[in-house]
Amino acid sequence: MKKMIFLYTPLLSCSLLCFKLEAQELFIRGYIKDHLHQPIPLASVTVKQSYDGATSDSTGFFSFVTKRNSPFWITVGALGYHTDSLLYDPNEAMDTIQMHLRERYTTLNTVSISAGSFVSGVSGKGIALSSIEVATIAGAAADIYGALRTLPGAGVAFGETGLSVRGGSPGETKMFIDGMLVKNPFNAQTPDIAARGRFSVFQFKNIAFSTGGYSAQYGQALSSALSQETQDLPEKTYTRITALTVGTELEQFIRHKNTGLVIFGNYYNLSASNRYLNPQQISWTRDPQQGTFGFQYMQKVSTNDLFKIYVDHSIAKMGIQNYFNTRTNSLEDISLDNRNTYINSTYTGRLSHKWKWQTGLSFQDKKDVIDFAIDDAGRKDQLLQARVLATYLLGDVSTIRFGSEFFYSDQSETLNDSSRNYQDHLMATFLEADVYLNRSLVFRTGLRVEQSQYLKQQNLAPRLMLTYKTGPVSQFAFSYGQYFQHPDDDYLLRQRLNFQKSENFTINYEYMADGYTFRSELYYKNYSHLIKDYGAYLTNGGDGFARGLDIFWRDKKTIKDLEYRISYSFLDTQRDFQDFPHHATPTFASKHTFNLLYRQYFKKTNTQLFSTYTFASGRTYYNPNSAAFLSDRSPHYHNFSLGANYFTNLMRQFTVLFLNVDNILGIRQIFGYRFDQQQRYTISPPARRSILIGAVLSIGDRTFRQN
């Protein structure tokens, strides 16, 4: 008999367990709320390891029936919240359950650190400027810099190359690609003609542009940082050909498992365009020509590790007749030859869920040969950069970032028989933390230390930003930062100097609801240690200030497929630098700048139309005949540009035809004047009206299929 009891007991317990006989029927109900006692609808309440459960309604209420005898776990989960659990004991009758869920920080529901920055790309938050948006800004002709100049805080280019931000000279804005500094982001530069950026907007997946301070990861820019991330591996293998009235571009994208390769080449020659399409206001002895050849190789070394290397080489030539040589104060013919090599390689990896790291190595070499009528000048600019960065995730979204970079630069300049050069080792270390105190308040604090062997100086730059989310779609931010920059190479070749410095204060208010964006920012910049040029010697005795207000409004929603943008900037700035006799408003600053942009997509005809109107109040120019220095102002600047894209297919391949007309009304634009002994010369854009026509053909690429 004993044996049988041993046999029966397990069988009996098994069958009982399998049937859960005589379990109590429990009616469970309650409310799911957040920590502010607001109901959470559509939360899922589940009895662990069972089918029993319910979904909460709009008041957070739920109820369901389950059959249990002993204590069991109930788990509650909802979108955007941490899952929570409760141990329910059937023997202690609980009336109604009240569960409070903790919010989970995600990029969607949390305050964003974007005070003063415009971030593009699908993954970027803030004012999104995608590649398409940049490419379709009338007048900019798909030039990144042309497009960024339509943002508040960035000034109109009156013939300067670069981005003048909030009263800063164009040289105060630096470009970074994948974290690495790009010393020469422009094609061959001649004064009075704004050069195009060297890179195509479509090479980047993210473009972040700050007008009011930037991360401690970057340095050497007094005003602003333009940070771009290159595209990742191409999704498939295909070819893209672009034909323009100014030249042609060819790109071959290759994808093979975990490696990608993009081979590209372009050649531009403006002679036909200058002769037949856009009559020039300046005379070219050699119409501008430029060619670039390069490639980018990418490899996904593992799921989390990515290696990229970008290499390009370009050659540019141009010649201008009667160019105003500021050295001799006379008109001469000038001829320019430029060669540029750029190599940028980065390796990003993820050690664990919390640790990410990145290393980068870049090399740049630029050579200019400039022939004046009598003089011959040459310039060599080399830069080698090595960088290491580590990021640690604290909690859900807070992060700590630290790293180090090293720059080696070699500059030399020749003028006829004399030459001079300098080399510099610059070492920088930075530490920065983004700490989210709760979902509404985040502060970023950072410190950057730089040491230059040539300048024999070091600097310490603290940076702080505080952002507070005032409502579901609005936030306030305050930021303060110190920024240091080497004096221009021209100055450093003559004399060893100290870092230039700027301190930026900004207060920012942003409202970003679905389709509507409003941003306003008040700022004050204090400049010190700017370079003063006394002819025989230089000092760091210059200083200045810039203050103003930027307002931005964008509406993508009111009318379907139509987007418009209005931006206004007010700038009051004065500085004493270069050869200024006293403080004055510099020539690159406009007091009032206004931009109105329009873009509309017409589905039925597959056309996209866009236009830009820009106004900038007259800027100062140097008039030797004037009693007061920089007291004259050029006429106000108006520009109305128009563009159109037409989407179609040629031989079953996706094609875009586009047209871009800058200054369609042919308004006479005067940037300023130059004076020699006898007369006054007007500085104007190269063409009164600029027309660009092109076609882009994608072969083997069906990426435009969409629902």
Partner 1 sequence: MKKVFILSFALIAFAIAGVKAQTNQYFAAMQKEINALEQMESQEEFLTAANIFERIGEAETKEWYPLYYAAYAKLLGGIMTRDKQRQDELYDQALLLLNKADQRSPRNSEIYALKGYVKFMMIAVDPMNRYQDGAAADKELATAELLNPENPRVFLIKGQNIFYTPKAYGGGREEATPMLLKAEKLFQADLKVDSLAPNWGKQRILFLLNQQ
DSSP output for 246-313: TEEEEEEEEEETTEEEEEEEEEEE-HHIIIIIS-BSS-EEEEEEEEEEEEEEEEE-SSS-EEEEEEEE
Number of residues that bind partner 1 (CB under 8 A): 45
Decide whether 456 or 603 has the Cβ nearer to partner 1: 603
Round to whole Å and give the CA distance between 497 and 194: 28
Decide whether 132 or 351 has the Cβ nearer to partner 1: 132
**676, 330 Cβ separation under 8 angstroms:** yes
Round to whole Å and give the CA distance between 470 and 330: 59
Token pair of 65 as six digits: 């029936």
Tell me which of 128, 137, 142, 389 binds partner 1, using CB under 8 A.
128
- Which range of residues in 45-53, 355-363, 662-670, 671-679 is near partner 1 by CB under 8 A? 45-53
**508, 212 Cβ separation under 8 angstroms:** yes
- Which range of residues in 10-18, 66-74, 360-368, 565-573 is near partner 1 by CB under 8 A? 10-18
- Indicate the DSSP class of residue 652: T
- Which range of residues in 49-57, 266-274, 417-425, 578-586 is near partner 1 by CB under 8 A? 49-57
Token pair of 594 as six digits: 């206004």
Q: Is 176 near partner 1 (CB under 8 A)?
A: no
Round to whole Å and give the CA distance between 630 and 216: 35
For residue 677, the tally of other CB atoms under 10 A from its CB is 7
Decide whether 11 or 36 has the Cβ nearer to partner 1: 11
Shortest distance (Å) from residue 14 CB to partner 1: 5
Q: Is 235 near partner 1 (CB under 8 A)?
A: yes
Q: Is 42 near partner 1 (CB under 8 A)?
A: yes
Decide whether 473 or 670 has the Cβ nearer to partner 1: 473
Shortest distance (Å) from residue 689 CB to partner 1: 29
- Which range of residues in 137-145, 359-367, 632-640, 644-652 is near partner 1 by CB under 8 A? 644-652
Token pair of 532 as six digits: 């003063």
Tell me which of 293, 518, 564, 647 binds partner 1, using CB under 8 A.
647
C-alpha distances in Å from residue 176, one per residue of 146, 225, 347, 387, 440: 17, 7, 16, 12, 30
- Indicate the DSSP class of residue 635: P
Shortest distance (Å) from residue 311 CB to partner 1: 24
Q: Is 559 near partner 1 (CB under 8 A)?
A: no
Mapping DSSP to helix (H, G, I), strand (E, B) and coil, where does residue 181 land?
strand
Decide whether 44 or 330 has the Cβ nearer to partner 1: 44
Tell me which of 218, 580, 654, 671 binds partner 1, using CB under 8 A.
654
Q: Is 353 near partner 1 (CB under 8 A)?
A: no
Round to whole Å and give the CA distance between 364 and 385: 9
Q: Is 6 near partner 1 (CB under 8 A)?
A: no
Site string for partner 1, 506-535 (x = CB under 8 A): --------x---------------------
Residue found by looking up tokens 């970057």 in the block = 218
Decide whether 329 or 649 has the Cβ nearer to partner 1: 649
> What is the footprint of partner 1 within residues 580-639 (CB under 8 A)?
601, 603, 606
Residue found by looking up tokens 């037949």 in the block = 276
> What is the footprint of partner 1 within residues 452-511 (CB under 8 A)?
none
**681, 325 Cβ separation under 8 angstroms:** no
Strand partners, 280: 687
- Which range of residues in 2-10, 186-194, 516-524, 545-553 is near partner 1 by CB under 8 A? 2-10
Round to whole Å and give the CA distance between 127 and 187: 28
Decide whether 114 or 364 has the Cβ nearer to partner 1: 114
> What is the footprint of partner 1 within residues 94-113 (CB under 8 A)?
108
Tell me which of 91, 677, 678, 706 binds partner 1, using CB under 8 A.
706
Shortest distance (Å) from residue 232 CB to partner 1: 10
Helix, strand, coil percentages for the chain (3-state, nearest 5): 5, 60, 35
Shortest distance (Å) from residue 53 CB to partner 1: 5
- Which range of residues in 325-333, 614-622, 646-654, 662-670 is near partner 1 by CB under 8 A? 646-654
Shortest distance (Å) from residue 469 CB to partner 1: 15
Q: Which of 304, 272, 276 is nearest to 288 (CA)?
A: 272
Q: How many CA atoms lie within 13 A of 375 on its CB side?
A: 14
Round to whole Å and give the CA distance between 583 and 577: 8
Q: Which of 585, 424, 569 is nearest to 493 (CA)?
A: 424
Token pair of 235 as six digits: 């999704």
Q: Is 12 near partner 1 (CB under 8 A)?
A: yes
Round to whole Å and give the CA distance between 85 and 356: 32
Tell me which of 70, 352, 678, 707 binds partner 1, using CB under 8 A.
707
Shortest distance (Å) from residue 7 CB to partner 1: 7
Token pair of 628 as six digits: 């007061």
Decide whether 17 or 36 has the Cβ nearer to partner 1: 17
Round to whole Å and give the CA distance between 219 and 681: 38
Round to whole Å and give the CA distance between 388 and 401: 11
Decide whether 122 or 627 has the Cβ nearer to partner 1: 122
Tell me which of 5, 6, 11, 25 binds partner 1, using CB under 8 A.
11
Decide whether 237 or 429 has the Cβ nearer to partner 1: 237
Token pair of 160 as six digits: 């300067």
- Which range of residues in 50-58, 297-305, 360-368, 495-503 is near partner 1 by CB under 8 A? 50-58
Tell me which of 26, 34, 46, 672 binds partner 1, using CB under 8 A.
46
Q: Is 648 near partner 1 (CB under 8 A)?
A: yes
Shortest distance (Å) from residue 49 CB to partner 1: 5
C-alpha distances in Å from residue 657, one per residue of 272, 373, 580, 647, 691: 19, 42, 49, 7, 14
Tell me which of 122, 374, 627, 651 binds partner 1, using CB under 8 A.
122
Q: Is 303 near partner 1 (CB under 8 A)?
A: no
Q: Is 560 near partner 1 (CB under 8 A)?
A: no
Round to whole Å and give the CA distance between 676 and 315: 33
**430, 399 Cβ separation under 8 angstroms:** no
Q: Is 536 near partner 1 (CB under 8 A)?
A: no
Tell me which of 652, 666, 678, 679 binds partner 1, using CB under 8 A.
652
- Which range of residues in 15-23, 278-286, 429-437, 460-468 is near partner 1 by CB under 8 A? 15-23
User: In sequence order, which residues have a C-beta less than 8 Å from that of residue 54 and are 6 or more positions away?
Assistant: 45, 62, 63, 64
Tell me which of 23, 65, 132, 437 binds partner 1, using CB under 8 A.
132
Q: How many helices (H) and strands (E) does the chain have?
A: 5, 38
Decide whether 289 or 600 has the Cβ nearer to partner 1: 600
Q: Is 50 near partner 1 (CB under 8 A)?
A: yes
- Which range of residues in 127-135, 178-186, 304-312, 380-388 is near partner 1 by CB under 8 A? 127-135
Mapping DSSP to helix (H, G, I), strand (E, B) and coil, where does residue 170 land?
helix
C-alpha distances in Å from residue 22, one per residue of 12, 19, 29, 72, 169: 15, 9, 22, 16, 83
Tell me which of 37, 420, 680, 702 binds partner 1, using CB under 8 A.
702
Provide the binding-site residues for partner 1, judged by CB under 8 A: 4, 7-8, 11-12, 14-15, 17-19, 41-42, 44, 46, 48-53, 55, 79-80, 108, 122, 128, 130, 132, 235-236, 514, 601, 603, 606, 647-649, 652, 654, 702-707
